Chains A and B, each alone.
Chain A
Amino acid sequence: MMAAIILVCSTVLFLQFFVFYCRSLIAVSSKQVLSPEVQDVTGISRTASGEDFARVMQLLQLCPERPEDRKSIRAIGVYFSLLNFLRSTIARMVPSMRVWTESERGHCAYFAAVALERRISFSRDMLAQQMDA
């Protein structure tokens, strides 16, 4: 009985904490302005839409990976899938939820674009170091 209560509460709280954690990751990166070249590459200037996410993730895969952002990118990928699930189920019946999921999906795409920017500058630094050596 005790274990069942713990399981149910933990699962609900896990989902809640996971969503808040992903949103805190997104909130920190949303203040960062994208450089003009990343804006050109991704087609995102100020606000991104959820449709951009897959494209930006493909671009991210092309860049050398940075160990420190691997987990946060994966977390946002899972969060994006969760939003897609909400969009195709509950959000169909609740219009305000639909607007919210759309805006969150856009934030996820913007987060991915910021991660892309970091990876590009990381690759540049590595190249510069190799040239110096």
Chain B
Amino acid sequence: MLGPVDWIISLLSVLFEASVVVCSLRRKSFRRHFFLNLYMSINVLVSAGQFRVLMHYGRSSLEYRYFYFYSEALLIIVLYFALTGLYLKVFEEMRVERYVRLGAVLLLAGTACFTYAVVSQSSHRMLTYFVFELSQNLYFVGLVLTYALWGAIVKLKETRALLVQFVLSLGVYFSAYAASYAMSNLRPDLYSYIFRLFPIIGCLLPLAWAYAIWRVPEDARLAPARLAVVPR
């Protein structure tokens, strides 16, 4: 049975994801941030699907969990392409497009193979466990890639405020998810509580991106190196 909080979070999630696409269209920057918008558009469809399954079967049902984790694993793969798009923006003057794309595909395949290798040795419920483990590993690899991108931004003195906010909010999102997945892996007894956090974390990224697209002008600049300065 859905409580009022579940309703509100599910509706807000779809609303925030749609608002990223709407803000991009209104700002006429849809094509400029194509992969981010593609991810959000697919996310709207997936959220609508999740909402439908949630209404039919309830949050604690097996059907909802299956749908949730499989759709989530697919979404992270699309998010990888969005991250690749951000890499291309940062390295656009170096003309390394081909290498970045190739690297992303290899990393994705590598993570899937690694997860399969780990899970096939240790679990009897392989398919269910595989998708959960894969999500955790993909979020973590995404986090490492985002951190590397942040390092490149600081090193290359990239100053586009919009790009900086996209990358930082992606870092917050990836790390929150990776930590939650790892926590539920370590403490399965806490899983039912942590599982409730996922939709809330899911709202963070679209909200941050919608805010950035709507509020931060394309030509706004800031010095990322100064954001990282903390006195010793």
A85 at the interface (CB under 8 A from B): no
Partner of A6, one of B118, B136, B223, B231: B136
A27 to B207 CA separation, bound complex (whole angstroms): 19
Query: Which of B3-11, B73-81, B98-106, B177-185 contacts the other chain?
Result: B177-185
Q: In the assembled complex, which residues on chain A have CB atoms less than 8 Å from the CB atom of B211?
A: 68-69, 71-72
What number of A-B contacts does a CB cutoff of 8 Å give?
102
A127 at the interface (CB under 8 A from B): no
Tell me whether B232 and A96 are in contact (CB under 8 A).
yes
Partner of A21, one of B137, B169, B210, B231: B169
With A28-B220, A71-B208 given, is the CB distance from A23 to B179 under 8 Å?
A: no
With A17-B171, A21-B168, A68-B215 given, is the CB distance from A7 to B186 under 8 Å?
A: yes
With A21-B171, A27-B227, A72-B211 given, is the CB distance from A4 to B222 under 8 Å?
A: no
Q: In the assembled complex, which residues on chain A have CB atoms less than 8 Å from the CB atom of B137?
A: 6
With A3-B136, A6-B136, A27-B227 given, is the CB distance from A20 to B178 under 8 Å?
A: no
We find that the number of chain A residues with CB closer than 8 angstroms to chain B is 29
Partner of B182, one of A7, A21, A69, A71: A7
Given contacts A20-B150, A24-B164, 12 further A-B contacts (CB under 8 A): A3-B182, A3-B186, A6-B137, A6-B181, A10-B182, A14-B171, A20-B171, A20-B228, A21-B169, A21-B172, A27-B226, A28-B165
- Chain A positions near chain B (C-beta within 8 angstroms): 2-4, 6-7, 9-11, 13-14, 16-18, 20-21, 23-25, 27-28, 68-69, 71-72, 94, 96-97, 99-100
Pairs across A and B, CB under 8 Å, 9 listed: A7-B179, A7-B183, A9-B143, A10-B178, A17-B150, A17-B171, A18-B172, A71-B204, A94-B231
